[in-house]
Amino acid sequence: MSADTPTCEAWAPDECEGTPHCPPRCPRFVDKIGDTWTIEPVGTSGRDALSAMYRDFDPGERAQGLPPIGEERIDSWLDGLLVDGCNFVARAGERVVGHAAYVASADAEPELAVFVHQDYQGRGIGTELCRHLIATAAAADRDALVLEVEPANRQAIAVYEKLGFERVEERSADDPLRRSLSFEMRLPLWDSRVTDTQNPPIVGD
pLDDT digit string (tens) for 88-141? 999 988 899 999 999 999 999 999 999 999 999 999 999 999 999 999 999 999
Residue 169 lies in a domain: yes
Residue 98 lies in a domain: yes
pLDDT value of position 134: 95
> What are the Cα distances from residue 21, in Å, to 17, 18, 25, 199?
12, 8, 11, 13
Contact assessment for residue 111 and residue 102, using Cβ atoms and an 8 Å cutoff? yes
Maximum separation of any 2 CA atoms in the chain, in Å: 55
CA–CA distance, 130 with 134 (Å, rounded to integer) = 6
Number of domains in the chain: 1
- Does this model's pTM top 0.85? My answer is no
pLDDT value of position 192: 74
Q: What is the mean pLDDT of the chain?
A: 83
> What are the Cα distances from residue 96, in Å, to 52, 106, 154?
8, 26, 25
Query: Which has the closest alpha carbon to 141: 194, 81, 202?
Result: 194
pLDDT value of position 45: 67
Residue 12 lies in a domain: no
Query: Strand order of the sheet with strand 144-149?
Result: 28-30, 36-41, 85-92, 95-103, 111-116, 144-149, 182-188, 166-171
Query: Which has the closest alpha carbon to 72: 103, 101, 51, 47?
Result: 51
- Residue with the bigger pLDDT between 65 and 175: it is 65
CA–CA distance, 117 with 104 (Å, rounded to integer) = 23
CA–CA distance, 177 with 26 (Å, rounded to integer) = 38
Contact assessment for residue 114 and residue 79, using Cβ atoms and an 8 Å cutoff? no
Q: Which residues constitute the domain of residue 117?
A: 28-196
Residue 5 lies in a domain: no
**pLDDT tens per residue across span 10-41:** 455 556 666 666 788 888 899 999 999 999 99
| CATH at 166 | 3.40.630.30
Query: Which has the closest alpha carbon to 30: 18, 12, 43?
Result: 12
Residue 11 lies in a domain: no
Question: Where does the pLDDT of residue 1 fall: very low under 50, low under 70, confident under 90, or very high at 90 and above?
Answer: very low
**pLDDT tens per residue across span 45-58:** 688 999 999 999 99
**pLDDT tens per residue across span 159-177:** 999 999 999 866 555 555 4
Contact assessment for residue 66 and residue 109, using Cβ atoms and an 8 Å cutoff? no
